[in-house]
Chain A
């Protein structure tokens, strides 16, 4: 299983390099904030640990999960939001 995950990791890095080298400097800031929003994908893990742990049984993982959901959610909503705002400003002449 681990070897498979490692393969996926390596391949995804190559895909990333291939696509991102084609992003023009004009769009580097939106690229960064957009990529940043995507790194908020860790919210998937946050939701799982938060939901699986009711406070009556195990307070610590549930509360940590809650904090993680808050941070990741700011990252996701804020990240896609500002990226959209920025991209909406890029216009062609005329």
Chain B
């Protein structure tokens, strides 16, 4: 009993370390320390668990698991490229989810096994297995067994959904399958059937807790549901999906905390759940879409809008790197607005080279980052940080919009919908009301883009036809390399 209270005390310390860890992430200066505090909390929680005893009978299971999982984790963390970060984070979300699902399942089997043993020992034939399961749970100090079963069901459903949903997000982000949204109504039907199925098996488990198969049936349904859940969602909506799955992985851990009666799981799981939910909301606001619309809807039809020909005909001004280089002569402030295209072209280092060159000529360079630019929250910031861009030059949308009229040249690299002025000016546009970076208010806009092809929203962008816009067609990286050469020669 004494170690029991000490153990719980140390678990509380671990939970506090997690809270301070996340608090550290509120500023780049304290963020590294914050992450290390989180790690310390994790190590503490693990050591307390291991020292707590009773883990020697199956020592090879957890020693083997720690070694194998640890090795894979280290290799993944060291090897991954910064551009591949969205899919890695997606995958890790899934691993957290399935771990929670497996723990809940394992505890459930353990409870059944212990109950069967006690039933055999007692020799009482008038009490069934369910009764003895209740006894096992009560002896473990967990109170009402129904609550434990309910937590088991929730853990299995959320964990399973998170796993396959995350794996599918990973596959989509790797572009092993198309990142385009799929509109087949069968997908939605499949999702509903799978979720109803898991709810039914969950109900079976609650009524007949000795039915171990019901847990795996509901887990299987949730796993299938996760596939149908993410399959229809397009690549540009991935920031929302990853944030939501992030939240789920936390909630699954919290549910598992209820299963094994462990507060540190509940506290950390709900912290992560809250974090993911907030990011989900921020991403939805940044796209001016509701969560239901992202998950179940498709973008509004665009037929009524003007066609690309009407918008672009005769108004688009193409330019060359040499011409742009001359524009840079004598400017004071340049704003770079990156989009997913910069990540695809791996152009972040070239962008930094260009900025270095301009700064050497006393030009102020800032970066305007739209919240949903890229494939996950903060994607552009990580890529630019990798290229050694100081974080104080990375400006949020509102901040950069306020100074846009004082920007001499706005350089848009691989961004499209997030700089489409239709969102602000055309109330019938499918993206009407979406907050954008007002690059069209800069004195001159230079757009680096392969072609006039539409972005994810599938609509033409009047920015490209604006009188103060110049289109520099080509691969983002190559075009910038050319531009750097031209500025140096100038």
Contact = CB atoms under 8 A, between A and B. Distances in A.
Contacts of B46: 43-44, 47
A47 B142 CA distance: 19
A88 B98 CA distance: 29
Given A39-B272, A90-B391, A51 B62 contact: yes
Size category of the binding interface on chain B: 35 or more
A36 to B, nearest CB: 5
A38 B64 CA distance: 21
A47 B49 contact: yes
B113 interface: yes
Residue from A14, A28, A83 with most neighbouring chain B CB atoms (10 Å): A28
Residue from A1, A19, A68, A80 with most neighbouring chain B CB atoms (10 Å): A68
Given A26-B28, A35-B272, A65 B106 contact: yes
A82 B38 contact: no
A75 to B, nearest CB: 5
Contacts of A76: 42, 69, 73
Given A13-B273, A33-B92, A92-B392, A50 B73 contact: no
B95 A47 contact: no
Size category of the binding interface on chain A: 35 or more
Contacts, number: 409
B257 to A, nearest CB: 7
A28 B388 CA distance: 18
Contacts of B66: 69, 73
A17 B242 CA distance: 18
Contacts of B305: none
B259 interface: yes
A32 to B, nearest CB: 5
B418 interface: no
B261 A1 contact: yes
B55 A51 contact: yes
Nearest to B253: A42
Contacts of A41: 18, 42, 45, 253, 264-265, 268-269
B249 A36 contact: yes
B59 interface: yes
Interface string A35-64: 111111111111111111111011011111
B265 to A, nearest CB: 6
Given A42-B103, A46-B103, A54 B58 contact: yes
B178 interface: no
Contacts of A92: 28-29, 390-392
Interface of A: 1-2, 5, 8-9, 12-17, 19-55, 57-58, 60-94
Given A49-B110, A73-B69, A85-B78, 11 more contacts: A5-B257, A8-B267, A25-B381, A30-B378, A45-B107, A68-B106, A72-B96, A74-B92, A75-B95, A89-B382, A92-B392
7 A-B pairs with the lowest CB-CB distances in the bound complex, closest first: A73-B69, A51-B55, A69-B65, A81-B77, A16-B274, A77-B73, A28-B378
